[in-house]
Amino acid sequence: MSTKIIYINLDSDTNRRDGMEKHLNLLGKKNYERFSAFRGEDITVKHNQKEKRSQGDYGCLYSHIAALKSQENVDDDYVLVLEDDARFLYNFDMNKLWSMVGKDVDIIQLYSHISNDELYKIIVKVNVTDTFLNWKHLMYGTQSYVIRKSSIPKITKYIDIENRVLDMTGYYNPLVADMVIYDSVKTISLTSPLFYFEDYVSTIHPSHDEQNKKSMIRRLQIKPNNTLKKILTHKYNSVYKNIFNTTMSYKRNIFLYWVGKEYKLIIILRYLIYLYSTTGKGYNVILINHENLNEYIDEIPPYFYNLCPAHQADFVRVNVICDYGGIWLDSDTLVLDSLDSLFDIIENKDGFLILENNEILSNGIFGSKKNTNFMKEWKNRLIIKLDNTKGKIGWTDIGCKMVQNIFISNPSLCENYTIFQGLDNLYPVNWDKCVTEYINKPYYNCINIIREYQPLIVLVNSVYKKLENKTFNDILYGTMPINYFINKSIKNKIERFNHNSTGIGTINFDTLIENVHNDTIRIYVDAVKHYINYMINQNLKNKN
């Protein structure tokens, strides 16, 4: 059984063509050909739908169907269709792949963009045992898929090549390539991808670029399960690591680290961090734990797992921000609004730091470009300290104490960092007063904590430990000062959702907001609290 490779490429995109053919030749792929893509303005799409799609949508759709049409009479059994930014993540045996699926399957989608958070969580969970899922419309993308040659006519019935016409009259689903192609036949999708895409700007469909890049970063975190590994014909480690390092290099990443007990407030705060990941320009949330640590840090010292969780986090934060760039948030951070302003600082300067009590640099929240002189010095001192002591260190030795010592001994390393006076904005309550100010005092004490600029606030471990004896409902609907800030976080998110039509990242949430027939923000806030509480309970049930 043989496979023909066809890649779709605009005539003007010679650099993408050269890159694709270099890649295919390097992998020893010989049975391939280029298909000349079409722009939307060069073809005609007939339809009776009210909604008009973009020229990019039409051009992409027509190009794919025309490419398939060109392969109807080839001698091969399967046709592998690639867009010109697609790259093999692994070499694999195509015949073995097809032997794993039923004869009723027409198409296998080899890479999909997953922007829906709930679907992504499902895929992560089922990937342990399942290699394929039935294709759903939230599994976006026609970047790489393989089709049985015999199934091609089921899709090409829409096209008139001679007149460059695509007649979709009577077709009522969205006129986009993935929907038309995958929905016309029996399509299944891999839970872990076999392809990635090169970091090009799309010339046919540029509007999806930023979302697609964010999606790829986390898609690559889902590795092949043991079943899929059987069809791989080379080890992926070095290839994958190079791809991953390139992809992870500062692209608005938020890093977190958590191991051990899942405290109730920590879970709530994490949901808020994820909710804000699609606000404004958005960001990519990367939660690191023992299971995925090796994917982000190459050399884990033998004493690492003997460190307490706080010192493990100290080790992780320095390594990932130095190597990849982005923002580090301790898991007890309460995000109140879009973090665009903090990412803007990183883009325009080296990064930002926060003074705890307006006196000592904190390591709980900070942001930086990768490999700045400051981050390299911090990483170097941390490794030397841990190696020399074999991990037997004081509480702040590799944290705020080390950061402060760097600043005092060589302040020039921090001169291109914005240094926030924490009490005036992001760290408004010093650590030793947090329980009193956020929990014990009456609700109206919040007025003493509110600041003019406050996209997030630093909490501390004493706060989430103090609240652990309460239920999720008690925490979400309480009358403590911290509840003002939880409410404020949700309110800010909803206002941005309403005014800017910014998605929240889960279909369930969007539907929930749209179905609230009350103009008051308070009702919206309660709806979001209900959603968060519901999702927490569902996850707890799944774990049990």
Predicted pLDDT of residue 140: 85
DSSP-derived letter for residue 151 is: G
Q: Verify that 410 and 513 share a domain, yes or no.
A: yes
Over the Cα atoms of the chain, what is R_g?
26
- Given 214, 244, 274, the domain boundary residue is 244
- Given 224, 244, 264, the domain boundary residue is 244
Predicted pLDDT of residue 396: 87
194 vs 112: CA distance, rounded Å:
10
For residue 508, give every residue at least 6 positions away whose Cβ sits within 8 Å of its Cβ, in sequence order, or none.
118, 531
Q: Verify that 395 and 344 share a domain, yes or no.
A: yes
Q: Please report where in the chains the tokens 């996850």 appear, as a residue.
A: 539
Which residues, listed in sequence order, are joined to residue 35 by a DSSP beta bridge? 8
Three-state SS for 504-517 is: CCCHHHHHHHHCCC
Assign 352 to helix, strand or coil: strand
Q: How do strand 456-458 and strand 3-9 relate by DSSP bridges?
A: unpaired
Residues of the chain with pLDDT > 90, as a percent, come to: 56
Domain count, the chain: 2
Q: Verify that 417 and 384 share a domain, yes or no.
A: yes
Domain containing residue 55: CATH number: 3.90.550
- How confident is the model over 402-429, as pLDDT tens digits? 999 999 999 999 999 999 999 999 999 9
Q: How do strand 326-329 and strand 360-368 relate by DSSP bridges?
A: antiparallel
The widest CA-to-CA distance across the chain, in whole angstroms, is 77
Q: Verify that 261 and 297 share a domain, yes or no.
A: yes
Q: Verify that 386 and 422 share a domain, yes or no.
A: yes
Residues of the chain with pLDDT > 70, as a percent, come to: 84
Of 17, 5, 60, whose CA–CA distance to 195 is shortest?
A: 5
Q: Verify that 57 and 151 share a domain, yes or no.
A: yes
Q: Verify that 226 and 305 share a domain, yes or no.
A: no
Predicted pLDDT of residue 541: 57
Q: How many CB atoms lie within 10 A of CB 359?
A: 11
Predicted pLDDT of residue 275: 81
CA distances from 290 to 286, 500, 539 (A): 13, 38, 20
For residue 522, give every residue at least 6 positions away whose Cβ sits within 8 Å of its Cβ, in sequence order, or none.
none
Q: Is the dihedral of CA 398, 403, 406, 408 positive or negative?
A: negative
Q: Verify that 229 and 375 share a domain, yes or no.
A: no
Domain containing residue 404: CATH number: 3.90.550.10
Predicted pLDDT of residue 498: 47
Predicted pLDDT of residue 28: 85
For residue 541, give every residue at least 6 positions away whose Cβ sits within 8 Å of its Cβ, in sequence order, or none.
none
Q: Verify that 119 and 190 share a domain, yes or no.
A: yes
Predicted pLDDT of residue 493: 81
Residue 507 is encoded by which pair of tokens? 């279909």
Query: What are the φ and ψ backbone dihedral angles of 441, each rounded to 5 degrees?
Result: -80, 165
Task: Kindly report the average pLDDT of the chain as a whole number.
Answer: 85
Q: Identity (one letter) of the amino acid at 213?
A: K
Q: Verify that 165 and 257 share a domain, yes or no.
A: no
Q: Verify that 295 and 178 share a domain, yes or no.
A: no
Q: How do strand 159-160 and strand 78-83 relate by DSSP bridges?
A: unpaired
DSSP-assigned states of every residue in 381-438: HHHHHHHHHTT---TTTTTHHHHHHHHHH-GGGGTTEEEEEGGGTTS-S-GGGHHIII
The tens place of each residue's pLDDT in the chain, 544 residues long, gives 899 999 999 998 888 899 899 889 888 899 999 999 999 899 999 998 888 888 888 999 999 999 999 999 999 999 999 999 898 888 899 999 999 999 999 999 999 888 777 888 888 888 888 999 999 888 888 999 999 999 999 999 999 999 999 999 988 888 889 999 999 999 999 999 998 887 544 554 544 555 656 667 677 778 888 899 889 876 444 444 555 555 555 468 999 999 999 999 999 999 889 888 766 667 888 899 998 888 788 889 989 999 999 999 999 999 999 999 999 999 999 999 999 999 999 999 999 999 999 999 999 999 999 999 999 999 999 999 999 998 889 988 898 999 999 999 999 999 999 999 999 999 999 999 999 999 999 999 999 999 999 999 999 999 999 999 999 889 988 999 999 999 999 888 877 654 443 333 333 333 333 333 344 444 456 666 666 666 666 655 555 5
CA distances from 203 to 58, 59, 176, 515 (A): 13, 10, 16, 37
- Given 228, 244, 260, the domain boundary residue is 244
Q: Is the distance from CB of 489 to CB of 482 less than 8 angstroms?
A: no
Q: Verify that 150 and 34 share a domain, yes or no.
A: yes
Q: Is the distance from CB of 428 to CB of 452 less than 8 angstroms?
A: no
Domain around 503: 249-543
- How confident is the model over 287-317, as pLDDT tens digits? 999 988 887 888 899 899 999 999 999 999 9
